[in-house]
Every structure is written in C-alpha cells, then in structure tokens.
Amino acid sequence: MNFMDKWAAPIAGAIMIIVVMVVISGFTPTRSLFCREDEICLREWLTATSGWAAALAAFVTLFALRRQVAAQEKQIDHQLGNVEPDMMVRCTVGEDFSPVAQITVTNRNRRPLSVNYLEAIPINRVKLFPHNVKIGESDRPQEAFGLPGTIVNCLMPGKEDGRLPSTAVITCFFEPEGEPDSDDADGFARYHVKIVCHGRLRLPDEWINHVSGNVVSLPHEEILLRWTSAIKEKAEKLLGRADRKTGERIPGYIEKGIVTPSDAYVIAINGRLLRGFGGAIPELHGISQLPYAVEATFAVGPLQVTIDRQTLQQAGSGLQHRTYIAKPKGAAVPADTFFDPEFSPVSAIWAVDVDELLAIGETRPMAVVHNPLAAVKLDRKILPAQSEYFLSEGDGYYEVQRVDGSQ
C-alpha cells in the first residue's frame, strides 16, 4: 500500500478540522485574514466552503473505493489463478544427518511453472547445491555439486479447478562462505540470507506483461497446450478418469447420471488469462489464423508451403495436418480430439475471450467448434458467437468450414 492510499483520508480530514477550528475560535489575527469585522465569520465561511467540503468528502470516498477495488481485484486474481507462486524455506537434516535446506514452492497459478535456479542474497554468503526435486510422488535427482543453484526438470503443472495446487520440494546442500553474521549461544555460526527462486510461468512474462516498444513472439504452442489441457480436464469431468495415484476409476457426469446420453454437452473455455500485451488484446486465434479450439480438436497446424524437390518450385500450400503438439519434456499431446470416437459425448466447444467489457455491451470474440462425431449434435446459432466451425469430408480428406454465427 503506498503513502497516499494509507494517509490521504486522515490528512484531508485533519485539514478540514484545523480550518474549522481556527475560524470558529475567533483568533483575531487569523480572523482578519478570512473575514471583515462586520461579518459573521462562521456563517460566511460555512456557506463559501460547502462546495469544497463536498469535494473533499468525495475525494476521501474515492480513495476508500480505490482500496476496496484493489482488494476485490486481488481476490478475483486469486480465484482465476492469476497469482504469484508461494515459497517457504526451512533448514533440516538429510538422510545422513547432514544439514540441508528444503525449499517448498507451491504453484497456485493456472499456468505451468518451470523452476530453474536458486540464489542466496546477498551473494557470496551461502552457496546452494540442489540435490533432489520432488513434485508430487515423483523424485528427480539433481546433479548437485559443481552447479550452484541450478535446477533441471522442475516443471510444475498449473492449478486446476477443484484440485490442490502442485508443490515442488527442492532439497539443497549448502556451503557457507565468508564470516558469519552472528554466533548463537552454542557457538554455531548464523548466516542471514534471502533465498530467491528463479523460474517462469510457461507463457513468457514478456508476452503477458509486454513492455511497449519491445518485440515479442507469439507463444502459440504454449497457449495451445493450455487449450488442450483445459479441453482434456473438462472432458474428463464428463467421461470420468482413472486416479493418477491409485488407478481407481473416478466416475464422470455420465456415470453419475448428471448428464444423460440424450443431452448435448458443450465445453466452454475462456482464454482471457492467455492474453498478451498486458491483457489488452484478445487472443482467441492461433498460428493457423483459426481459433485455438479448432487447432486443438481438428488437428490443424500452421500454414505451410510444399516445395517440389526436383524443380524447387512451389507445389502447393495450405494448413498443416498436425495430430500432436510437441512438449518441451514428456510425451506429445494429441490435437485431434474430435477425430476420436471416445469423445463423441462432447457435442461442441464454445471458445470465448470474455472480460468485464461484455457487461457494458462491448462485443467479445466467441466461436463454436462442432464435433463431427458427436452422439448428439448441437444446432447452429444456439450459442452466441461470431463464427462456427464444422468438418466436411471430401475424397480422402477433411476440410474445415466456417459459417457465420449468431452475432
């Protein structure tokens, strides 16, 4: 909280009280500055300053509202998963009773977090040597010595609705340098340092918090992976899934009877948090110039040009057929969801990029992507959208068709 947020209202109130008290007191030298001798000073000044008093009261009210709005925005960011990760550090002993530092990082953000470096500040006081990283039940040994602070293979999933945030426990050996800051009663040296965890949310910060004048690339694959993750999560709520730890079956809406086989089921996804340029520009369309929801379900990739190897001339051009999306680590992610009969209970995806401007009548980008294998088809123009997308089958190929929506 800055100085004006904290003290503007008390200062304004104190000024008003001082002015009133000085005028009412009738202190002669002061009175001569404000009133003539034949005037009723208090009445004249109450009349003259009534407008200013109202302005000051409005000023105080605006600052109070500003603080309230800031608190509400902070709460909304927390609910939407747009918050900074948490970190906690404690000193303990390892399996061989040697002293170690345990750094626990909790990712409450919706975006995956990659941790890659630990640093002790001030520098040249304590060196940290990461020895092991544990994310959930997965242990990932580190090449500790010789690489102070360096962490590899520490990618934490983003926070998903209804689930606990992912947590990484980083165990480090540490080596003090220089003279200690103090000694305790038992003669043990004490070093006072601050541990800084360097990492990045998988969408680059230069994209999310763009600085005007800087050139930045569209992280289209990272954004597309967030769309595929959201589609998978919401589809599992309908179809059910296996527990990652026990392997036991977790029933979905169909097995629970919440959704019947005769119901149309639409997955709605809002891509607002994936915007770049400080959130000013909606980002509903990917590198193919089609919505990310089309790329994630119709196996559509970027534009490509085919070159004849013999003549080196252009032989054709069009959208790439991309059934999988490569990840930095781990298995590739399928991008052909609507070609898989397992997802036939899903009728369509309603892809939107909606913010509070919708409430005042501003048009926000929306698209509906229809599942060609859907058990229950969704009628056109049921949902508000500027465009709707279908697959039509040709002679050995599929073609993506766009039609105007209801808006």
Task: List CB contacts of 402: < 8 A, sequence separation 6 or more.
Answer: 387, 388, 389
Q: Which regions of 136-259 does DSSP assign to beta strands (E)?
A: 138-141, 155-156, 166-176, 182-183, 189-190, 194-201, 241-242, 249-250
Residues 31 and 128 in one domain: no
- What domain count does the chain have? 3
Q: What is the spatial distance between Cα 387 and Cα 395, in angstroms, rounded to a whole number?
A: 25
End residue of a domain, out of 80, 104, 122: 80
CA dihedral 13, 14, 15, 20 (to 10 degrees): 90
Residue 93, pLDDT score: 77
Residues 379 and 235 in one domain: yes
Q: What is the spatial distance between Cα 76 and Cα 82, in angstroms, rounded to a whole number?
A: 8
Residues 113 and 63 in one domain: no
DSSP 3-state assignment of 60?
Answer: helix
Strands 155-156 and 265-270: unpaired
CA 323 to centroid of chain Cα atoms: 27
> Other CB atoms closer than 10 Å to residue 11's CB: what's the count?
13
189: exposed, middle or buried (Cβ count in 10 Å: 0-12, 13-18, 19+): exposed
Residues 97 and 172 in one domain: yes
DSSP 3-state assignment of 58?
Answer: helix
Q: What is the spatial distance between Cα 349 and Cα 267, in angstroms, rounded to a whole number?
A: 5
> Other CB atoms closer than 10 Å to residue 102's CB: what's the count?
16
> Other CB atoms closer than 10 Å to residue 357's CB: what's the count?
11
What DSSP element (H or E) covers 117?
Answer: strand 113-121
Residues 246 and 188 in one domain: no
Residue 399, pLDDT score: 86
Residue 348, pLDDT score: 94
Residue 196, pLDDT score: 83
End residue of a domain, out of 163, 187, 202: 202
Residues 142 and 169 in one domain: yes
C-alpha pair distances (Å), 291 with each of 209, 295, 324, 341: 22, 7, 17, 22
**Which DSSP category does 397 fall into?**
-
Residues 265 and 309 in one domain: yes
Residues 271 and 288 in one domain: yes
Residue 347, pLDDT score: 94
> Averaged in consecutive runs of 10 residues, what is the pLDDT profile of the chain (407 residues)?
64 72 58 61 63 73 79 71 82 78 86 81 82 78 66 77 83 83 78 81 67 78 86 89 77 91 92 75 86 91 87 85 78 87 93 82 89 92 92 82 86
Q: What is the spatial distance between Cα 117 and Cα 88, in angstroms, rounded to a whole number?
A: 15
Q: How many residues does the chain have?
A: 407
* Nearest CA among 388, 384, 351, 353 for reference residue 370: 388
Strands 265-270 and 346-352: parallel
> Other CB atoms closer than 10 Å to residue 267's CB: what's the count?
24
b/e per residue 282-313 (b: at least 16 CB within 10 A): bbbbbbbebbbbbbbbbbbbeeeeeeeeeeee
Residues 182 and 215 in one domain: no
Residues 302 and 381 in one domain: yes
State the helix-helix crossing angle for 41-48 and 50-80, rounded to 10 degrees.
40
End residue of a domain, out of 154, 177, 202: 202
- Which domain range does residue 103 map to? 86-202
DSSP 3-state assignment of 114?
Answer: strand
Amino acid at 26: G
Task: List CB contacts of 59: < 8 A, sequence separation 6 or more.
Answer: 8, 12
CATH number assigned to the domain comprising residue 111: 2.60.40
Residues 74 and 104 in one domain: no
Residues 303 and 154 in one domain: no
DSSP 3-state assignment of 270?
Answer: strand
Helix residue spans in 123-216 (DSSP H): 205-208
* Nearest CA among 284, 286, 312, 282 for reference residue 299: 286
What DSSP element (H or E) covers 87?
Answer: strand 86-93
